[in-house]
Amino acid sequence: MIRKVLLSLSLLFMSMPSFSDDNELSKLYADNEIDGTLLVQSFDGRTEYQHNATKIEEGYIPASTFKIPNTLIALEEGVIKDQFEIIKWDGVEREFTPWNQDQTLATAFSRSCVWCYQRFAVKVGDIKYKQYLADFDYGNRETGSVISTFWLDGDLRVSVRDQVNFLRKVYLEQLPIKHRNVQILKDIMLTEETSDYKLWVKTGWQDEHGWYVGYIETQGKVWFFANHIKIKSPADLFFRKALTIKSLKMKGIIQ
């Protein structure tokens, strides 16, 4: 019996495609002097383009990319009704001017409004977060000692591949979340629509961790992607999106 199981597993892995660094993408990052890791994966998972493949499985702070699962959790738990409900500003002046006003879920997501999601987090609580992280199989499933900041400076870690795997579950609605709530997330994640493609995205930034993750529909196909780069100065934030879009063009996914 054991031999049959091992044989089946070996045949499975033999049938799976193997991947390695894409030289064209590696040159793109080197030319821009950016230390980063990129994974672009086709809908069926059989085509991948990678840069820095040895770090694809390394865990990083998710920062504001956690607003993707966090939005689903907040909606499912009823701490926010929909993308239109007003989130009243507490009057505290913060470093990012667009945060200093009433928000909606849509603006809180697009502006990465930390205080909005901190308010949600306190209402959700640690026990429920750990259950959702387990149900989602999200990253290392850890939170931390401070429930309102665990995705920024707590114990939660997520890899580039984790991000892509989770995005596929969002797209296919393979999560224990109501269809309505997934659709609200998709509505507020849609950031760009051209004649060539539609793009669903979330950015993230905390200390040296910069993220650009999402998926794209183009020419009747869907591709998932996650780009993590090391932020040495605020000027590097530009490359989160720029290198991702350039990579998609270099591989012929978009024009």
Which positions are catalytic? Answer: 64
CA distances for 248 relative to 25, 186, 207, angstroms = 10, 21, 26
Token pair 């390695």 in the structure block, residue: 20
CA distance linking residue 142 with residue 3, whole number of Å: 35
